[in-house]
Amino acid sequence: MKNLISCLDLSKKEIKEVIDLALKIKKGDFIPDFSGKVLTLIFASPSLRTRLSFANGFQKFGGAVSVLDAANSWNFEFRENTKMDGTTQEHFQDMIRVVSRYSDVIGIRDASLATKDPVTKSESSWEETKKNDHLVKFAKHAEKPVINMESNVFHPCQALADSMTMLENTEKKEEEIKVALTWAPHPKPLPLATPHSQMLLPSRLGMKVNLVCPPGFELDPEILKEAKKNASGFEIHHEQNILKEMDFVIAKSWASLRYFGNWSEEKKYRNKFSDWTLNEKKIGKAKFMHCLPIRRNVVATDKLLDSKNSLIIDEAENRMWAQIALLEKVLGKMAK
Amino acid sequence: MKNLISCLDLSKKEIKEVIDLALKIKKGDFIPDFSGKVLTLIFASPSLRTRLSFANGFQKFGGAVSVLDAANSWNFEFRENTKMDGTTQEHFQDMIRVVSRYSDVIGIRDASLATKDPVTKSESSWEETKKNDHLVKFAKHAEKPVINMESNVFHPCQALADSMTMLENTEKKEEEIKVALTWAPHPKPLPLATPHSQMLLPSRLGMKVNLVCPPGFELDPEILKEAKKNASGFEIHHEQNILKEMDFVIAKSWASLRYFGNWSEEKKYRNKFSDWTLNEKKIGKAKFMHCLPIRRNVVATDKLLDSKNSLIIDEAENRMWAQIALLEKVLGKMAK
Amino acid sequence: MKNLISCLDLSKKEIKEVIDLALKIKKGDFIPDFSGKVLTLIFASPSLRTRLSFANGFQKFGGAVSVLDAANSWNFEFRENTKMDGTTQEHFQDMIRVVSRYSDVIGIRDASLATKDPVTKSESSWEETKKNDHLVKFAKHAEKPVINMESNVFHPCQALADSMTMLENTEKKEEEIKVALTWAPHPKPLPLATPHSQMLLPSRLGMKVNLVCPPGFELDPEILKEAKKNASGFEIHHEQNILKEMDFVIAKSWASLRYFGNWSEEKKYRNKFSDWTLNEKKIGKAKFMHCLPIRRNVVATDKLLDSKNSLIIDEAENRMWAQIALLEKVLGKMAK
């Protein structure tokens, strides 16, 4: 494993290895040693959990970390063969190459709902956004391993933490685990990277995967196809009553691809499903998960979030352990 | 000592222990070892001295530090039982719980003149601000020790550094030390956390404490009462001629509670006391202190600030030593 | 060497020693040990390479780093004997003194095209800007070594990395090396610190130095005089055909001093030279250098930047090695 950018190219074996190692490290049965290594984290969009789970986890085991918030100070160019006489100051690929000379491993977050033209600020369609995922496109310019800390299309670290949390909280084998990724209300249209990844990884692990969402919120077709291919069962439901049959319910809000780009129409449509707020009754005995940050009493009720069945804080903690395991894999391979 | 949030619950013994340890560490007679420990610093308001004194001090003795500037990127919710469908993105209590999973100890700054409603941005009264001090209210959600790096009401670390600086610069016993906290002019109404703490700690140590300020700048009644109860002498003066009898003069500006919220009236009233600028003549042989940053020639003259009797740089340095001692106490207790 | 602020006071011996040490460290023939030391980096203007090359390099060899972005949160006062009743919150000299108490060594960047009045925001003339270079003026207040990470007039670390890169890429002796600093187009008027330094250091090393620029872009007269005095040959050319005779071509854009302050006139004049974009044909077999970030296809063509003769990524990497060597010199001297 050199880079971790897309979730599409992660094999079941690789996922399992990272999660097994993460569980071992969490229990204290394996102690990584990152001393003398430097991890650089670059944020072109804001972050709290990702930043702290990476930085603290790597430092906990002796590594050194630098964090760069590119969001406010730097205007990157993402187009190729372009005369940069406008407002962009540095090409993303040059930045990545240079930073890789200063680092042993790099994490990059460049996540938004839609790719924006750096000059006109106009938004791309979903197809263009997906095709131009900056990390998928430019990580190859790095001379050191790159980890995707969330791009426009993928958020593999979140999905690794989620799968780890499920395996940590059940005695069942992967093929028997029933999990639903369920859409939830939100005042804003949110990016698709997280739900894509949260659906792809459990599928790849062979779980029984259910996508539960209002019509028009079905996620990217290619990613659906991939999930169907790998899961031991795959169903789409447009009503929430299936949720109480699950072992795990992962709630998440995301924008409707049907109205992608027409944000006022999308909002009108999205607002029709404000009764999709999760609560204790809807999910029954299933364990509840969410990637955080969460809008309390919009995505899910206080009561559910603070109930015994809520795994949200453990899930957030597992971001750190999964990423430590990943960094161990990536720097270990490198050392060979 | 698990948390350090309010100054009201610090015993004389605890204060003395931290200061004694800080002086020892400064002299090199005790060498802390923070290796393998991670301190996370969260700033919901800006900082220079607090950030660097915590970060550099902890790292100096082998610890690792992550700093999160929440100010620009994150909009926290502080109300309970609220439907978060507005502009707030994450509940402060969820953030604290998650961050505590990534850290061995946490420092938080969330300081302003008045609590603001996250939605309407309207300001609370002083009574509401005090009652809803975010750190007093939410630190309990952390699963690791939390240190107050300045809240709306308290700034214990500044006060610890101040008391340390006084004890370092006198041969007198606490009961004999005469200290004045004196109000000073400033173009803006400033928060009350620092003067509250600068009055409470010397009182708790049993010093002879004088509050010197124009009428209407007398600080919070409950805090005054607490100071009176503990100090070996406590007086309020509305003129500065008492200052030259002091061993130490701590200058600080703060807003008038009498006009709290009516900021245009407050300004008009505050501006009447522009001749309260401190100078060498006013303080005589007393040692001069200020928490910094300082408005030169407004709070105090260049001549006083750069005089032999000015302790301002030592006082700033002692922030670091006092906090290292505090972290040693907090992580030490934890280890037991 | 206590401070590194101006390039004017660097001796040939000092430059050579830093570069020799940097090359040794890069090869692994000398391993610095910065453990227990804390480097504080203060940025009053944005940075990517400087920040990461300093932070990662120092941490790579065991040191600890704190980074403070003063740009957004803090408004420094640079005038002396001033009543600070306006918008400035802290005097630059107080900040430097305090930070030096928390650190073993400090790096400061405070770079802009022209010094600005902190209150009126009006720009100084070039003569005023040069005379009031904040780092030259205030670094003396530090109680620990200070390194200039770019001021209004000098950028010594960039120049050290450049000279290191040249010496690394030739077998020739300094006196035989032909180098041109060539002006290049840019949509904005850029500061002069980098080109000044890129001309002064090769001159001091005794190289044959050529300044290639349109008339009116000749840089500061005092700095030209210094370069002439030290270089083994010094010529000014107003046409680019000399470039193909060089061993190294360092491209850089900067503002015209002839129109300094009249920015609309300056722009009009600058735009006349848009055909100065560097390309493979213009520089022949010379090695190409640029400090980055670079506006692709404005300063130089993609083809040149990605050609075999382009040293831009090595040059950026060498920032790190040169600075590690510098920190070793500075902390080493201190230890004695």
- Is the CB of residue B38 less than 8 Å away from at least one CB of chain A? yes
In the prediction, which pLDDT does B1 show? 64
Segment B174-221, tens digit of pLDDT: 999 999 999 999 999 999 999 999 999 999 999 999 999 999 999 999
Q: Give kind and range of the element (H or E) at residue B165.
A: helix B156-168
According to DSSP, the β-strands at A38-43 and A64-69 are parallel
Rounded to 5°, angle at Cα A259 from A258 and A262: 160
Number of C-beta neighbours around residue A28 at 10 A: 7
- Residue C315's closest chain A neighbor by CA? A98
The rounded mean pLDDT for chain A is: 95
Question: For residues A316 and B316, what is the distance between their CA atoms, to the nearest angstrom?
Answer: 37
The verdict on a CB contact (< 8 Å) between C102 and B65 is no
According to DSSP, the β-strands at A287-290 and B90-91 are unpaired
The rounded mean pLDDT for chain B is: 95
Kindly give the residue spans of alpha helices, DSSP state H, lying in chain A. 12-27, 49-60, 70-73, 92-101, 126-131, 134-138, 156-168, 193-204, 221-230, 263-271, 280-283, 302-305, 312-335
- Is the CB of residue C91 less than 8 Å away from at least one CB of chain B? yes
For A46, which of B73, B95, B97 is closest by C-beta distance?
B73
In chain A, residues with a C-beta closer than 8 Å to the C-beta of B77 are 296
Question: For residues C90 and B298, what is the distance between their CA atoms, to the nearest angstrom?
Answer: 12
In chain C, residues with a C-beta closer than 8 Å to the C-beta of A86 are 187
Segment A65-119, tens digit of pLDDT: 999 988 767 889 999 999 999 989 999 999 999 999 999 999 999 999 998 877 7
The verdict on a CB contact (< 8 Å) between A66 and C53 is no
Query: Residue A286: which residues within 8 A CB-CB, separation 6 or more?
Result: A180, A243, A244, A245, A246, A247, A248, A249, A309
Q: Is the pLDDT of residue B321 over 50?
A: yes
Residue type, B122: S
In chain B, residues with a C-beta closer than 8 Å to the C-beta of A60 are 36, 38, 64
Question: For residues C336 and C334, what is the distance between their CA atoms, to the nearest angstrom?
Answer: 5
Both tokens assigned to C69: 């972005």
For C84, which of B72, B298, B312 is closest by C-beta distance?
B298
In the prediction, which pLDDT does C223 show? 96
Query: Residue C15: which residues within 8 A CB-CB, separation 6 or more?
Result: C160, C163, C201, C204, C205
For A293, which of B85, B86, B90 is closest by C-beta distance?
B90
For B316, which of C38, C68, C98 is closest by C-beta distance?
C98
Number of C-beta neighbours around residue C171 at 10 A: 6
CA A212, distance to chain mean position in Å, is 18
pLDDT band at A1 (very low <50, low <70, confident <90, very high): low
Q: Is the pLDDT of residue B145 over 60?
A: yes
Counting as contact any 3 or more CB pairs under 8 A, the partners of B are A, C
Q: Is the pLDDT of residue A335 over 70?
A: no
Taken in order of first residue, the domains within chain A and their CATH numbers are: 12-154+318-335 (3.40.50.1370), 170-310 (3.40.50.1370)
CB-CB contact of B82 with A296 (8 Å):
yes
Question: For residues C149 and C309, what is the distance between their CA atoms, to the nearest angstrom?
Answer: 28
Q: Which segments within chain C are labelled E, that is strand?
A: 38-43, 64-69, 76-77, 90-91, 105-109, 146-148, 178-183, 208-212, 233-237, 248-252, 287-290
Edge-first strand listing for the sheet containing B248-252: B233-237, B208-212, B178-183, B248-252, B287-290
In chain B, residues with a C-beta closer than 8 Å to the C-beta of C73 are 46-48, 71
- Is the CB of residue B68 less than 8 Å away from at least one CB of chain A? yes
DSSP secondary structure string for all residues of C108-166: EE---SS-B-TTT-PBPPHHHHHHT-HHHHHGGG-SS-EEES--SS--HHHHHHHHHHH
In the prediction, which pLDDT does A116 show? 82
Work out the percent of chain B whose per-residue pLDDT is above 90: 89
In chain C, residues with a C-beta closer than 8 Å to the C-beta of A84 are 295-298
The verdict on a CB contact (< 8 Å) between C102 and B320 is yes
In the prediction, which pLDDT does B82 show? 94
In the prediction, which pLDDT does C1 show? 64
For C296, which of A74, A84, A102 is closest by C-beta distance?
A84
Segment A186-202, tens digit of pLDDT: 999 999 999 999 999 99
Question: For residues B168 and B325, what is the distance between their CA atoms, to the nearest angstrom?
Answer: 15
Helices C193-204 & C156-168, crossing angle to 10 degrees?
A: 50
Counting as contact any 3 or more CB pairs under 8 A, the partners of C are A, B
DSSP secondary structure string for all residues of A28-96: TS-----TT-EEEEEESS--SHHHHHHHHHHHHTT-EEEEEEHHHH--EE--SS----SS--EEHHHHH
pLDDT band at C336 (very low <50, low <70, confident <90, very high): very low
